Every structure is written in structure tokens, then in C-alpha cells.
Homo-oligomer: A and B are copies of this chain.
Amino acid sequence: MNAWLDDIKWDEDGLVPAIAQETGTGKILMMAWMNRESLELSVKEGRAIYWSRSRNKLWRKGEESGHVQTIKDIRLDCDNDVLLLEVEQIGGIACHTGRHNCFYKQLQNEQWVEVESVIKDPNEIYK
């Protein structure tokens, strides 16, 4: 049982990167990390649950903000060490900065320039 979890090549910290891609738009929302427990729970609950490396605990995406990610599809790569989630992003905001996604800094002439606008003030999201 749980052979599908054993198939994954967890790193030395028991983690793998998980890329969240928005269903429909195909935009990349964010990349976070999952451990065995968080992936198992994600599948069980149908929503993205990551492992927070900074807080060292399970991170039910949207637990504070309401910006839950509903899982539509889960893929594993050829090397069995990266996950790709197709998700519906509730609220249309994935980033804690209040932007649609986390990849809002674009390299322009050797500088990182913010090219996506804040949809909602983080102070309004995390009260």
C-alpha cells in the first residue's frame, strides 16, 4: 500500500518540489515543497497542502487567506523527483504579496523588475 508514495524520490530532507499551474490559463502560480504526509493529505482532501520549510510544519495553502488551491491533476516527472499540480486558484491570488502568482519579477537588462500588479493588499488578506 502507498506504493505511489514510495515511487517518489524524496530528497534527503524528505521533500520534493511541487509546481502549481493554474487550470485554464496554464500560468505558473508558485513552487513550494511537499513531504510524504502533505502529498497524501493533498490527494485525500483534494487541495494543495505543502510543507513549509520556514515554519517546519504542514501548510494548508489558503488556511489564513482563503486562497485555497483545488487540485485537478497531479503529475510526476521522469526522474520521480518533481511534482506538477494543476489547480484551481480560489480568489485568483496565489502569492502572499497579493499578486496572482509569485513570478512577478522579470529580468530586464540585468535587473529584476516587478511586472505584475498587486490585486489585493496583503494587509487585507492576512488580518
Residues 15-38 (chain A) with a chain B CB within 8 angstroms: 17, 19, 21, 25-28, 30-31
Does A41 reach chain B (CB closer than 8 Å)? no
Give min CB distance, A41 to chain B, whole Å: 14
Contact A75 to B105, CB < 8 A, known contacts A4-B111, A110-B4: yes
Q: Does A124 reach chain B (CB closer than 8 Å)?
A: no
Q: B107 near A82 (CB under 8 angstroms)? A: no
Q: A65 at interface (Cβ–Cβ under 8 A)? A: no
Is B107 in contact with A78, judged by CB distance below 8 angstroms? Answer: no
Interface range on chain A (Cβ under 8 Å from partner): 35 or more
Q: Which residue of B lies closest to A26 (CB)?
A: B26
Assembly CA distance A122 to B15 (angstroms): 29
CB-nearest residue of chain B relative to A29?
B77
B28:A84 contact, CB within 8 angstroms = yes
Nearest CB in chain B: distance from A68 CB, A: 19
Residues on A facing B (Cβ under 8 Å): 2-4, 7, 17, 19, 21, 25-28, 30-31, 43, 73-80, 82, 84, 95-97, 99, 102-107, 110-112
